[in-house]
């Protein structure tokens, strides 16, 4: 962070705002390219004092957002997260269609609690059917788990970083005060505005193709009805464990003539033994 610091006064580091502006312009251009390619951005901020501002900006531009708590494996174990999202949609659809009216009072209470809990953590990514095109992170030090998962999967990261963070972990760092509402609000607003402008330039045909690729139909009884699932192939794909079971020996049919001959030989042998003994 030394290259982004202007000076130090009374033990407080002052960030060079000219470098902040330059880095913000670079981040905006990166966001524009990502959105123009048909991808969407995921806003991440779990600070209580800032989550409302970030959530509003994310909603205004149609981006995904996480403002409660980053669930471990949100990106690296996305298949499990999708199951939770699927469950949330089933509960919401069941409530809309009054599918739970014949359940007992206790069962309805448990289902409502489950829906509330899932909605609290997954409401901002409810429509995210695949990994996001990029992450916009506020406070890189606090959201270290999200950054680690994104780096592991090669997802670009745009982050507001303070003087206590490591800019090497961020693809597009924006130096700034990640504790001030005005600072975070200004940067988030500029990113949100670029997303809206780039989304307006995306051709309608490309938007339709993206929506069709992400379309999923849900049912309260059977869950997910149609979904495009790409199974991994090639190197790294899971293999089934082969268990070699013992082969049962089959009975070999024996001819009746051979059986009679064998019995005659045994009888004659017994007669000779009796004669010798007498």
| CA pseudo-torsion sign 98, 101, 104, 109 | positive
Element (DSSP H or E) covering residue 77: none
Per the model's pLDDT, the better-predicted residue between 235 and 198 turns out to be 198
Give the other-Cβ count within 10 Å of 88's Cβ.
21
Per the model's pLDDT, the better-predicted residue between 236 and 264 turns out to be 264
Closest to 230 in 3D by CA, of 214, 210, 219: 214
Share of the chain above pLDDT 90, in %: 51
Res 150 pLDDT > 80:
yes
Read off φ and ψ for residue 6, nearest 5 degrees.
Answer: -80, -50
| Region of poorest pLDDT, from 21-25, 95-99, 238-242 | 238-242
Alpha-carbon gap, residue 249 to 236, rounded angstroms: 38
Res 171 pLDDT > 70:
yes
Residue-level pLDDT at 77: 92
Alpha-carbon gap, residue 266 to 43, rounded angstroms: 91
| Overall pTM > 0.75 | no
Res 149 pLDDT > 90:
yes
Alpha-carbon gap, residue 1 to 15, rounded angstroms: 9
Fold classification of 2-226 is: Rossmann fold (3.40.50)
Domain ranges of the chain: 2-226
């Amino acid at each position: 962070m030394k290259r982004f610091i202007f000076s130090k006064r009374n033990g407080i580091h002052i960030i060079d705002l000219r470098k902040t502006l330059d880095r913000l312009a670079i981040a905006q251009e990166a966001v524009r390219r990502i959105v123009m390619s048909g991808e969407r951005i995921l806003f991440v901020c779990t600070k209580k004092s800032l989550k409302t501002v970030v959530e509003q900006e994310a909603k205004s531009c149609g981006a995904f957002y996480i403002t409660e708590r980053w669930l471990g494996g949100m990106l690296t174990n996305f298949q499990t997260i999708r199951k939770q999202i699927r469950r949330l949609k089933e509960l919401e659809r069941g409530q809309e269609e009054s599918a739970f009216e014949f359940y007992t009072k206790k069962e309805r209470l448990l289902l409502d609690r489950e829906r509330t809990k899932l909605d609290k953590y997954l409401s901002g990514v409810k429509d995210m059917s695949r990994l996001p095109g990029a992450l916009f992170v506020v406070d890189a030090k606090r959201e270290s788990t999200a950054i680690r998962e994104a780096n592991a999967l090669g997802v670009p990261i745009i982050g507001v970083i303070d003087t206590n963070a490591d800019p090497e972990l961020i693809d597009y760092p924006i130096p700034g005060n990640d504790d001030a509402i005005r600072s975070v609000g200004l940067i988030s607003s500029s990113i949100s505005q670029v997303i809206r402008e780039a989304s307006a330039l995306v051709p309608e045909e490309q938007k339709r193709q993206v929506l069709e690729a992400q379309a999923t139909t849900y049912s309260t009884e059977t869950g997910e009805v149609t979904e495009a699932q790409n199974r991994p192939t090639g190197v790294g794909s899971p293999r089934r464990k082969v268990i070699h079971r013992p082969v049962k020996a089959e009975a070999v049919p024996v001819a009746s003539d051979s059986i009679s001959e064998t019995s005659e030989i045994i009888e004659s042998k017994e007669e000779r033994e009796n004669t010798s003994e007498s």
